[in-house]
Chains A and B, each alone.
Chain A
Amino acid sequence: MQRRLSEEDAAFQQKMRTYFTDEFPAELKEKGTNRNDLDPQDIRRSQATLAEAGLAAPGWPVQWGGQDWTSLQKFIWDSEMRAAGVPPPLPFNTSMVGPVIAAFGSEELKERFLPKTLSCEIWWCQGFSEPDAGSDLASLRTTAVKDGDHYVVNGQKIWTTLAQHADWIFALVRTDPNAEKKQRGISFLLIDMKSEGITVRPIKTLDGDVEVNEVFFEDVRVPADQLVGEENKGWDYAKFLLGNERVGVANVGLVKKTLADVKAHAREVTRGDGTLLDDPQVAARFARLEADLMALELTVIRVSGGSKDGKPDPASSILKLRGSELQQDVLELAIDVAGPMAASWDDSVVPQWAADAVPTYLNFRKATIYGGSSEVQRSIIATGILGLKG
């Protein structure tokens, strides 16, 4: 055990801090602090800038633009990036499909896709969930039938985040409907969103935003060389991907920044002769959340998490479970700090942060649902770690 950063790690931290605060384009950071300001071009620019600096996907193999960093250094990278308000790289690209292609794709696929995935020249979206395959993902019914050197894809995906901006989709499709176990008949396919037969239909969420979509496939012809790895092994790749996704969504860096912002607002809101932060009950909520966040952050450092040797580390489920809950708790506190102002969603009536409080809270109810719901995470912990099987 060692508390202090080694000299090397302290120098690393300073290097990251200097880059993110002084060198990264300021106009992208200012926009990044407000969730509605960032347009897709900004996100692409931001990731391209990070990629050029070698900072878009440190977890990838070095050969493909990753870094040979320790898990602590990756943690420092993420913390400094979030603290500086830099828009992070697209998780679909860097945490999800990139590592899968790097681990299981052919050399051809890697050369074709990894550089553009890193720089966000290709914007990916995730085609996993279906109307009848939510937590029971392996029940998915979108089919891919081999026809010469193509697959013909038919079916529907749902909850596809930012599909409206995406260039490509990585999709789980059923290639063997007769497999003994439903998990054995699934393949991992890369599909161009401009293919004929794809329709994207937006789904408006409670906050009024359009973030998720339905994606329909009607006789979509997909070149067979866009299959990742082996046919019918897609479930293994998906589990690998979800293991990585779970670590990413613990998001301690983002939650920390949000909590600090909420605290700054609590200092500005008056109560009696003082501020809202002087109120012992409000202060106690901050104190509890800071303690919870500390424990989560330490756990991220302690269990490097992530998928190892092609298999997810079940400890990543703790990070997903508690990280998502904590994020929601912080956003709920933001509503209470906004107080009466939270009744308005109109930023010409109340400050923008107060207008955003309720819609953001409602939007982030998703956090305990996506990437494997809290209930799914508990099942993974119960069976995978505690060995509790009925």
Chain B
Amino acid sequence: MDLNITDEQKALTEAVSGVLARHGNPASNSGVSAEPAAHDPKVWEALVEVGVPALPWSEEDGGVGAGFAELTVAAAEVGKSRIHLPLAETVVAGAIITRTAPDSLRRELIGALAEGSALPVPALDEPMRAWSPTAPTVRAEGSGESWTLTGTKAPVRFAQDATHVVVSADTGSGTGLFLVTDVQAKGESLTFEGTSATLLADGEQAEQALAEALALGGAVLCGEALGAMEEALGRTTEYLRTRKQFGMPLAAFQALTHRAADMYAELELARSAALFAAMVADDDPVDVDAIARCRSVVDRAGKLVGEEAIQMHGGVGVTAEYAVGHLTARLTQIARTWGTPDDRVGELAAAVGGHESISLLG
């Protein structure tokens, strides 16, 4: 096992951070709130040019076949940049497609995603419904090649710019996964009124594909959270060194420096977890619980680092013009994407009786 970053991966991080710095416009620069931002096609296009969205997909499908280790280090740069991009979302949608769509559709869609002409995202959440990957209330009716969907999915991140959505719906005999190409979004809400859809998978196959796809998206989120935490800690230590109160720098106060040390310890544990999640994501089949375990570590680290970063900055930390709070906002959202921290612990708890201990060395 080797958890070190390769030279190629380092070169990739530099390319990605360069692109994000040139084309990105983080919310804090214009002083807008930390509300989840809409899709920014210009940055996405620049990222496509560096090849980032193509990284995890096989060459046969139109990707570059690099894998999740590469995607994770790229995602960390996105996390640092404070720019919201549909990286994890396209991974979930793409992973469902690669697992369930017929060959021609799969190649067409993954190829288009890799070259930036398609933006597929998942539509799984519903209003007033706690997170669950299965048992949706959106109804699917039909058979064979002819299906229609009825009901509402919201919020659906990046729905307004999505070209395709992968929708979970109740087929009457379980959960089905459907592809919708006629995306009519109102904000981040999608209402289906007999909308025609293509069945990708149902029953056990759908549940398995969804679980694996969400784990892969989760691995990408771990990478993004890692970058956001690094940035938040870096800004916080810089602030502690330079900000003066009572005639001395904040770094003179042990009450603060020891908490910064705890942030660092959590960040390093989260780094290990994020890198491991990337390795697990490249396995087939994907160990879904292992990634949930990694996310759980990152959840806790993100909360500590994000909250402490704001606290140690004082009032400026909660202002819209300052970067730190935006990082915290993103970390908060990441931890609630496709389940809450409690949901993940609950899933792991349900499986805890199935093994004596966790073995890392495969």
Please give the residue numbers on chain A whose beta carbons come within 8 Å of chain B beta carbons, in ascending order: 1-5, 9, 13, 72, 76, 79, 256-257, 259-260, 263-264, 267, 277-278, 280, 283-284, 286-288, 290-299, 301-303, 315, 318, 321-322, 375, 377-379, 381-383, 385-390
Flag if B260 contacts A388 (CB, 8 Å).
yes
Flag if A72 contacts B1 (CB, 8 Å).
yes
Flag if A13 contacts B361 (CB, 8 Å).
yes
Question: How distant is the Cα of A79 from the Cα of B261 in the complex, in angstroms?
Answer: 28
B40 on interface, CB distance cutoff 8 Å: no
Select which of A286, A296, A297, A387 is within 8 A of B352 by beta carbon: A286
B69 on interface, CB distance cutoff 8 Å: yes
Q: What's the A-B contact tally at a CB cutoff of 8 Å?
A: 164
Flag if B3 contacts A302 (CB, 8 Å).
yes
Whole-angstrom distance from the CB of B257 to the nearest CB of chain A?
A: 4
Flag if A381 contacts B352 (CB, 8 Å).
no
Nearest B residue (CB) for A1: B69
When distances are taken between beta carbons in the complex, the residues of chain B under 8 Å from A259 are 357
Question: How distant is the Cα of A294 from the Cα of B275 in the complex, in angstroms?
Answer: 12
Flag if B252 contacts A76 (CB, 8 Å).
no
Segment from B91-99, B207-215, B342-350 that makes contact with A? B342-350
Nearest first, the 7 closest Cβ-Cβ pairs linking A and B are A390-B252, A298-B272, A287-B348, A3-B279, A283-B349, A382-B257, A381-B261
When distances are taken between beta carbons in the complex, the residues of chain A under 8 Å from B270 are 295
When distances are taken between beta carbons in the complex, the residues of chain B under 8 Å from A286 are 349, 352
Instruction: Answer whether A381 and B264 are a contact pair too, CB < 8 Å, given A1-B4, A298-B276.
Output: yes
B64 on interface, CB distance cutoff 8 Å: no
Given A3-B280, A287-B293, A321-B265, 18 additional A-B pairs, CB 8 A: A1-B3, A1-B275, A2-B279, A5-B362, A9-B1, A256-B357, A284-B345, A286-B349, A287-B296, A294-B297, A296-B269, A302-B271, A322-B269, A386-B261, A388-B257, A390-B248, A390-B249, A390-B257
Flag if A263 contacts B352 (CB, 8 Å).
yes
When distances are taken between beta carbons in the complex, the residues of chain A under 8 Å from B353 are 267, 277-278, 283
B6 on interface, CB distance cutoff 8 Å: yes
When distances are taken between beta carbons in the complex, the residues of chain A under 8 Å from B240 are 388
Flag if A302 contacts B275 (CB, 8 Å).
yes
Nearest B residue (CB) for A286: B352
B5 on interface, CB distance cutoff 8 Å: yes
Nearest A residue (CB) for B248: A390
Residues of B55-69 whose CB lies within 8 A of A: 69
Instruction: Answer whether A375 and B258 are a contact pair too, CB < 8 Å, given A283-B352, A302-B275.
Output: yes
When distances are taken between beta carbons in the complex, the residues of chain A under 8 Å from B297 are 291-292, 294-295
Whole-angstrom distance from the CB of A295 to the nearest CB of chain B?
A: 4
When distances are taken between beta carbons in the complex, the residues of chain A under 8 Å from B7 are none
Flag if A379 contacts B254 (CB, 8 Å).
yes
When distances are taken between beta carbons in the complex, the residues of chain B under 8 Å from A13 are 361
Instruction: Answer whether A283 and B3 are a contact pair too, CB < 8 Å, given A1-B69, A298-B273, A387-B241.
Output: no
Question: How distant is the Cα of A291 from the Cα of B237 in the complex, in angstroms?
Answer: 27
B282 on interface, CB distance cutoff 8 Å: yes
Query: Interface SS of chain A: helix, strand, loop or mixed?
Result: helix
29 pairs across A/B with beta carbons < 8 Å? A1-B4, A280-B349, A280-B350, A283-B352, A283-B353, A284-B348, A286-B349, A287-B345, A288-B345, A290-B348, A290-B352, A290-B358, A294-B360, A296-B269, A298-B3, A298-B275, A301-B360, A318-B264, A321-B261, A377-B261, A378-B258, A379-B258, A382-B261, A386-B264, A388-B237, A388-B260, A390-B249, A390-B251, A390-B252
Q: Which of A263, A267, A386 has the most CB of B within 10 A?
A: A386
Question: How distant is the Cα of A277 from the Cα of B237 in the complex, in angstroms?
Answer: 42
Question: How distant is the Cα of A100 from the Cα of B131 in the complex, in angstroms?
Answer: 55
Whole-angstrom distance from the CB of A189 to the nearest CB of chain B?
A: 33
Flag if B356 contacts A299 (CB, 8 Å).
no
Flag if A381 contacts B269 (CB, 8 Å).
no
Query: Interface SS of chain B: helix, strand, loop or mixed?
Result: helix
B283 on interface, CB distance cutoff 8 Å: yes
Interface flags for B257-294 (1: CB within 8 Å of A; 0: not) read 11011101100111111011011101100000000011
When distances are taken between beta carbons in the complex, the residues of chain A under 8 Å from B278 are 1
Flag if A385 contacts B264 (CB, 8 Å).
yes
When distances are taken between beta carbons in the complex, the residues of chain B under 8 Å from A386 are 237, 257, 260-261, 264
When distances are taken between beta carbons in the complex, the residues of chain B under 8 Å from A290 are 293, 348, 352, 357-358
Instruction: Answer whether A1 and B5 are a contact pair too, CB < 8 Å, given A291-B348, A318-B269, A386-B264.
Output: yes
Question: How distant is the Cα of A280 from the Cα of B350 in the complex, in angstroms?
Answer: 7
When distances are taken between beta carbons in the complex, the residues of chain A under 8 Å from B5 are 1
Select which of A9, A263, A321, A387 is within 8 A of B356 by beta carbon: A263
B2 on interface, CB distance cutoff 8 Å: yes
Whole-angstrom distance from the CB of A134 to the nearest CB of chain B?
A: 17
When distances are taken between beta carbons in the complex, the residues of chain A under 8 Å from B251 are 388-390
Flag if A287 contacts B349 (CB, 8 Å).
yes
When distances are taken between beta carbons in the complex, the residues of chain B under 8 Å from A260 are 356-357
Question: How distant is the Cα of A389 from the Cα of B251 in the complex, in angstroms?
Answer: 6
Whole-angstrom distance from the CB of A304 to the nearest CB of chain B?
A: 10
Q: Which of A264, A382, A388 has the most CB of B within 10 A?
A: A388
When distances are taken between beta carbons in the complex, the residues of chain B under 8 Å from A301 are 1, 3, 272, 360
Question: How distant is the Cα of A79 from the Cα of B361 in the complex, in angstroms?
Answer: 10
When distances are taken between beta carbons in the complex, the residues of chain B under 8 Å from A299 are 268-269, 271-272
Nearest B residue (CB) for A315: B268
Flag if B265 contacts A381 (CB, 8 Å).
yes
When distances are taken between beta carbons in the complex, the residues of chain A under 8 Å from B362 are 3-5
Question: How distant is the Cα of A318 from the Cα of B262 in the complex, in angstroms?
Answer: 9
Instruction: Answer whether A295 and B269 are a contact pair too, CB < 8 Å, given A3-B282, A301-B1, A390-B249.
Output: yes
Nearest A residue (CB) for B342: A284
Q: Which of A72, A296, A318 has the most CB of B within 10 A?
A: A318
Flag if A379 contacts B261 (CB, 8 Å).
yes
Question: How distant is the Cα of A322 from the Cα of B297 in the complex, in angstroms?
Answer: 13
Select which of A288, A302, A378 is within 8 A of B272 by beta carbon: A302
